[in-house]
């Protein structure tokens, strides 16, 4: 009977994977984009090299899984691809310059975080009237049309609902746009009649879908008449009402089900796409613990898939690991292997644990699955008592009177350009060509150059420039016990920007100073104040892979405790400015409203654990990126920094209305650090004057959007020089001092 059951599964189980990293195994994508942008790679060679990379991706899929997408390899970002394909922006086919102007030119589209991850998407703006003029030249465009074997893949697009919910100007009534969007999608789908089509709609897990459900059902039903439609959602499971309704559509496949949820029986001809392996975590799947899916398989077609796109992972595990991690990690290619092994396990007569009989001769798949997984070690923490509440704002301002800053103080966010010379220094240190002493002497020279440059430019609050930091998370992970950092495990953040997420596998401990040495050395070089820059605990946790079985709040508070010790030492050595960077603050805010209050409390407790011991004379800065200002306000009220700097240059200053009357000082960015274009003094001055519609002159700081790490030195210098000049002109226009209501420490 058992053998008969498993034999019946062989034709009903398939594997589906999606999101294999477009970065490639050796960061080929990054190098191609940057070479093309720099003019060293001709256009046709660039496009052909992308085709070759897509061929490698397709071959990797084909080796391990049954079903996979074709045409995933974006030129920059899939949301931008979709907007251009729908005619939202008038870019002609094969106009790469027009396309990249939207991504990284002056006036480029805003960047925001993608469904609580560290991938940044470009945020399109919908047309005022719901009119869309699809351009088949952009879909599929331009990568994948020549790739051998691409006919085996499923053409794919992000869905219309995700576009509507994530746009800069989401409509109050989605029905106003859905009908026009369905017509546009139908035109794009016309060449694929009869071909399985993968429509990705991660927005189906957001709050409020029930309200839009009747219109969505009508839209999906219309598209399902054009192609055999596979509807796929991920990150968050949709509400049960949404799931039941989608299951009644004439779809070829439906993927909205995480393992463990109550699942409906789908009608004949509709495949159940089941997320069974991680797409965001790096720990191997305990395949033998998935026995609970067996009852779902009888009499139903099932496609085994990841729970999220695989681009959140490095390409593959391809380097020596410490003993504590050997045999425990799975990156993107290993996830493909897991899907293949799970399919074999489910169809070989030896099902997962809970359905196993005492077998005298376990199958190859069973033995492989048993050897694949190692249970995690225990996680033990012993936090110190929480710090006392922060002193009241009035007390802090009184204690900071002697800081002596001018009106509209100028500063930067922290990092200065990472030059080839600095990268070569780190390479030589890793290879053993330089010892630590020689490396430190070179870092001291770079810090001194940064300090002298800032003094020359006339900045008011200086930074050491972070020449020793390859990455704002990786650097701290290197100095905290409990982390492992791979050499090859790069992940795409946006465009050609990559980072290596550290792997936290044991309780984090401060085993050495983090930023103390560099900050004190910079302060010794100047009479101007130097700001110490630390990456905050939420961002350290968000941009790392966390231990199996450890919750995000547990990791955050453990990291906050380690940072607390560093901040104490900085203040004890006379540092008066401390900045805690939390670019991931809103990224990690739960997408479900009912979960947001507990996250707000976590953010408050973690921030206060880091800075709560500081005397009121120390001015606490906080930096945030890609800000949804309305969502940000309650966090700023709860965390209570003295000064906050936020991204602003890609947004209309009117967005700052949400932060009006906050009792803190604020520095919305005056130039965009993600473009090589120079912002003029006049442009910055206009932006600052716009900010004064929402903030008093006494509360306004002048700074860039974010760190300057990605810019070339001359790009950074010219923009900083213009920024300082804009601040001077604003001071002159207001009589050289803050009007009434100024804070006591401004002179």
**Closest by CA position to 19, among listed 255, 191, 183:** 255
Per the CB < 8 A criterion, the answer to whether 316 and 21 are in contact is no
Task: Summarize the confidence of residues 715-726 as an average pLDDT.
Answer: 96
Task: State the average pLDDT over residues 279-291.
Answer: 93
Q: In this predicted model, what pLDDT tens digit does every residue of 583-637 receive, in sequence order?
A: 999 889 998 889 999 999 999 999 999 999 999 999 999 999 866 778 889 999 9
Distance CA 185, CA 179 (A): 10
Residues 420 and 544 in one domain: yes
Token look-up 């998407």 returns: 121
Tokens matching residue 25: 């195994």
pLDDT average, residue stretch 274-279? 94
Confidence of residue 12 (pLDDT cuts 50, 70, 90): confident
Condensed to tens digits (0 to 9), the pLDDT of residues 406-429 reads 999 999 999 999 988 998 998 899
- Short-list 342, 334, 275, 280, CA closest to 310: 280
DSSP 545: B
Task: Using CA atoms of 56, 58, 60, 65 in order, give the dihedral in degrees to the nearest 10.
Answer: 180
253-281 burial code (b ≥16 CB/10 A, e <16): bbbbbbeeeebeebeeebbbbbbbbbbbb
Residue 80 within a domain? no
Given this model, what pLDDT does residue 135 score? 87
- The answer for 412, left when phi > 0, alpha when psi is -120 to 50, beta otherwise, is beta
Banded pLDDT at 262 (limits 50, 70, 90): low
Alpha carbon distance 424, 721 (integer Å): 28
pLDDT for the residue 661: 87
Q: How far apart are CA 720 and CA 36, in angstroms?
A: 27
What pLDDT score was predicted for residue 563? 96
**Cα–Cα distance for residue pair 377/371, rounded to 1 Å:** 17
Q: Give domain status of residue 254, yes or no.
A: no
Residue 638 has pLDDT above 50, yes or no: yes
Mark whether 455 and 507 lie in a shared domain: yes
CA dist., res. 413 & res. 394, Å (int):
25
* Rounded Cα gap, residues 699 and 457, in angstroms: 22
- Indicate if 719 and 653 belong to the same structural domain: yes
**What would the mean pLDDT of 541-570 be, rounded to a whole number?**
95
117/491 Cα distance (integer angstroms):
12
- For the chain, how are helix, strand and coil distributed in percent, rounded to 5? 40, 15, 45
User: Which residues, including other chains, have CB under 8 Å from residue 395's CB and lie 6 or more apart?
Assistant: 616
Which residues make beta-bridge pairs with 622?
580, 644
With beta carbons less than 8 A apart as the criterion, state whether 352 and 346 touch: yes
Do 527 and 607 fall within a single domain?
yes
Whether residue 156 is predicted with pLDDT greater than 80 in this model: the reply is yes
Task: Look up tokens 């999606």; give the residue.
Answer: 18
Say which residue the tokens 């499923």 belong to: 154
Residue 220 lies in a domain: no
Any idea how long the chain is? Answer: 747
CA pair distance 599, 635, nearest whole angstrom: 10
pLDDT attached to residue 469: 92
| pLDDT at site 654 | 80
Q: Is residue 453 located within the same domain as residue 406?
A: yes
Candidates 535, 529, 599; CA nearest to 567 is 535
Adjacent-strand bridge partners of 271:
253
Same domain, 569 and 716: yes
What is the spatial distance between Cα 613 and Cα 561, in angstroms, rounded to a whole number?
11
Of 115, 87, 89, 118, give the one whose Cα is nearest residue 103. Answer: 89
Q: Which of 648, 586, 639 is nearest to 413 (CA)?
A: 648
In a domain, 743, yes or no: no
Rounded to whole angstroms, how far apart are CA atoms 205 and 192? 27
Residues 6+ away with beta carbon under 8 Å from 295: none
The pLDDT assigned to 627 comes to 62
Q: How many CB atoms lie within 10 A of CB 183?
A: 14
Yes or no: say if 256 and 246 are a contact pair by the CB < 8 Å rule: yes
Q: Which value, to the nearest 10 degrees, does the dihedral of the CA atoms of residues 668, 673, 677, 680 take?
A: 30
Between the CA of residue 291 and those of 282, 299, 346, 354, 701, what are the distances in Å? Answer: 21, 17, 9, 6, 58
Across the chain, mean pLDDT equals 90
Q: Which tens digit of pLDDT belongs to each residue from 65-117?
A: 999 998 889 999 999 999 999 999 999 888 999 999 999 998 899 989 999 99
Structural domain tally of the chain?
2
pLDDT-derived band at 151, boundaries 50, 70, 90: low
Q: What is the pLDDT of residue 286?
A: 95
Q: Which of 340, 374, 408 is the last residue of a domain?
A: 374
273 φ, ψ (degrees, to nearest 5): -90, 115
SS3 category, 543 = coil
CB count in 10 Å sphere of residue 664: 18
Domain annotation covers residue 167: no
Looking at the structure, tell me whether residues 681 and 533 fall in a common domain. Answer: yes
**In a shared domain, residues 507 and 641:** yes
Rounded CA-CA distance 264/266 in Å is 6
Per residue in 225-252, pLDDT (tens digit) is: 999 999 999 999 999 899 999 999 999 9
pLDDT at res. 259? 54
Does 497 reside within a domain?
Answer: yes
**Residues assigned a catalytic role:** 674
**What is the residue range of 472's domain?**
395-733
Q: Do residues 463 and 538 share a domain?
A: yes
Q: CA 482, CA 504: separation in Å to the nearest integer? A: 6
Q: What's this model's pTM, rounded to 2 decimal places? A: 0.89
Half-sphere exposure of residue 659, counting CA atoms within 13 Å on the CB side?
31
Domain match, 682 and 579 both: yes
Residue 353: inside a domain, yes or no? yes
Token duo for residue 433: 């060509």
The sign one gets for the Cα dihedral 6, 8, 10, 13 is: negative
- The reply to whether 529 and 632 lie within a common domain is yes
Which of these, 521, 510, 449, lies nearest to 479 by C-alpha position?
510
User: What's the average model confidence in pLDDT over 484-492?
Assistant: 95
Distance CA 150, CA 139 (A): 14
288 pLDDT higher than 70: yes
Question: Which residues, 6 or more positions from 711, have their beta carbon under 8 angstroms from its beta carbon?
Answer: 417, 673, 676, 719
Task: Give tens-digit pLDDT for 177-199.
Answer: 999 999 999 999 998 888 999 99
Sequence-distant contacts of 360-365: CB under 8 A, at least 24 apart:
365/341
pLDDT at position 646 over 60: yes
For residue 153, the model assigns a pLDDT of 86
> For residue 382, how many other CB atoms are within 10 A of its CB?
7
State the pairing for strand pair 69-70/197-200.
unpaired
Q: How far apart are CA 562 and CA 339, in angstroms?
A: 38
Which residue among 324, 342, 374 closes a domain? 374
Do 370 and 412 have their domain in common?
no
| CA dist., res. 391 & res. 708, Å (int) | 33
Whose CA is closest to 417, among 469, 372, 461?
469
The predicted pLDDT at position 11 comes to: 61
The answer to whether residue 127 sits within a structural domain is: no
Final residue in a domain of this structure, among 342, 374, 406 = 374
CATH number at residue 552: 3.20.20.210
Q: Alpha-carbon distance 456 to 433, whole Å?
A: 34
The CB-side HSE value for 164 (13 A sphere, CA atoms) comes to 25
Considering the chain, what percentage of its residues have pLDDT values greater than 70? 92
As a whole number of angstroms, the distance between CA 503 and CA 506 comes to: 9
Cα gap 600→587, rounded to integer Å: 13
How far is 70 from 57, CA to CA, in rounded Å? 10
pLDDT band at 739 (very low <50, low <70, confident <90, very high): very low
pLDDT the model gives residue 630: 83
Angle CA 587–33–165, to nearest 5? 35
In whole angstroms, how far apart are CA 194 and each of 49, 154, 191?
30, 11, 9
Strand (E) or helix (H) holding 304: strand 302-306
């Amino acid at each position: 009977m058992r053998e008969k059951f498993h034999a019946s599964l062989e034709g009903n189980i398939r594997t589906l994977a999606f999101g294999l990293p477009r970065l490639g195994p050796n960061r080929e994508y990054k190098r191609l984009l940057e070479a093309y942008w720099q003019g060293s790679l001709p256009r046709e060679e660039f496009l052909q090299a992308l085709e070759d990379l897509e061929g490698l991706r397709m071959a990797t899929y084909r080796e391990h899984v049954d079903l996979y997408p074709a045409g995933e390899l974006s030129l920059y970002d899939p949301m931008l691809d979709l907007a251009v394909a729908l005619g939202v922006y008038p870019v002609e086919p094969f106009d790469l310059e027009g396309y990249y102007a939207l991504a990284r030119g002056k006036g480029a589209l805003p960047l925001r975080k993608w469904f609580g991850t560290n991938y940044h998407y470009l945020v399109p703006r919908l047309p005022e009237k719901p009119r869309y003029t699809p351009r088949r030249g952009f879909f599929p465009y331009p990568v994948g049309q020549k790739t051998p074997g691409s006919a085996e893949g499923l053409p794919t697009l992000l869905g219309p609902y995700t576009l509507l919910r994530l746009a800069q100007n989401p409509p109050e009534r989605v029905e106003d746009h859905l009908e026009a969007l369905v017509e546009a999608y139908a035109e794009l789908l016309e060449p694929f009649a009869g071909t399985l089509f993968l429509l990705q709609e991660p927005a189906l897990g957001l709050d409020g879908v029930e309200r839009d459900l009747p219109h969505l059902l009508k839209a999906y039903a219309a598209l399902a008449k054009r192609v055999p439609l596979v509807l796929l959602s991920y990150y968050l499971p949709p509400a049960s009402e949404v799931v039941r309704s989608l299951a009644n559509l004439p779809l070829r496949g439906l993927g909205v089900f995480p393992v463990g949820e109550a699942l409906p029986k789908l009608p004949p001809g509709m495949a159940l796409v089941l997320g069974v392996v991680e797409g965001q975590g790096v720990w191997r799947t305990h395949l033998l613990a998935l026995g609970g899916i067996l009852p779902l398989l009888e009499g139903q077609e099932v496609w085994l898939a990841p729970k999220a796109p695989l681009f959140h992972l490095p390409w593959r595990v391809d380097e020596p690991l410490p003993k504590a991690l050997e045999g425990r990690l799975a990156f993107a290619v290993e996830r493909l292997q897991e899907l293949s092994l799970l399919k074999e396990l489910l169809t070989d007569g030896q099902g997962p644990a809970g359905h196993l009989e005492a077998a005298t001769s376990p199958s190859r798949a069973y033995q492989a699955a048993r050897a694949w997984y190692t249970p995690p070690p225990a996680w033990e923490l012993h936090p110190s008592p929480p710090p006392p509440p922060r002193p009241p704002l009035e007390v802090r301002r009184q204690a900071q009177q002697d800081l002596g800053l001018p009106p509209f103080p100028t500063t930067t966010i922290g990092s200065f350009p990472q030059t080839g010379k600095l990268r070569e220094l780190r390479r030589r240190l890793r290879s053993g060509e330089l010892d630590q002493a020689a490396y430190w002497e070179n870092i001291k020279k770079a810090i001194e150059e940064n300090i002298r440059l800032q003094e020359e430019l006339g900045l008011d609050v200086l930074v050491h420039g972070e020449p020793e930091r390859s990455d704002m998370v990786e650097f701290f992970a290197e100095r905290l016990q409990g982390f492992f950092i791979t050499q090859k495990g790069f992940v795409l953040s946006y465009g050609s920007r990559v980072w290596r997420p550290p792997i936290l596998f044991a309780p984090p401990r401060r085993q050495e100073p983090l930023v103390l040495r560099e900050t004190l050395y910079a302060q010794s070089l100047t009479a101007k104040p130097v700001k110490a820059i630390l990456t905050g605990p939420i961002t350290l946790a968000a941009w790392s892979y966390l231990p199996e079985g450890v919750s995000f709040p547990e990791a955050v508070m453990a990291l906050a405790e380690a940072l607390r010790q560093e901040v104490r030492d900085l203040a004890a050595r006379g540092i008066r400015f401390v900045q805690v960077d939390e670019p991931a603050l809103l990224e990690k805010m739960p997408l479900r409203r009912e979960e947001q209050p507990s996250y707000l409390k976590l953010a408050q407790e973690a921030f206060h654990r880091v800075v709560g011991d500081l005397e009121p004379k120390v001015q606490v800065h906080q930096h945030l990126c890609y800000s949804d200002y309305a969502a940000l306000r309650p966090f700023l009220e709860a965390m209570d920094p003295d000064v906050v700097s936020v991204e602003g240059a890609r947004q209309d200053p009117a967005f700052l209305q949400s932060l009006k009357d906050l009792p803190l000082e604020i520095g919305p960015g005056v130039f965009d650090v993600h473009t090589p274009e120079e912002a003029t003094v006049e442009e910055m001055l206009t932006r600052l004057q716009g900010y004064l519609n929402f903030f008093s002159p006494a509360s306004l700081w002048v700074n860039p959007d974010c760190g300057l790490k990605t810019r070339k030195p001359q790009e950074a210098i010219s923009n900083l020089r213009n920024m300082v000049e804009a601040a001077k002109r604003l001071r002159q226009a207001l009589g050289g001092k803050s009007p009434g209501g100024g804070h006591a420490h401004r002179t």
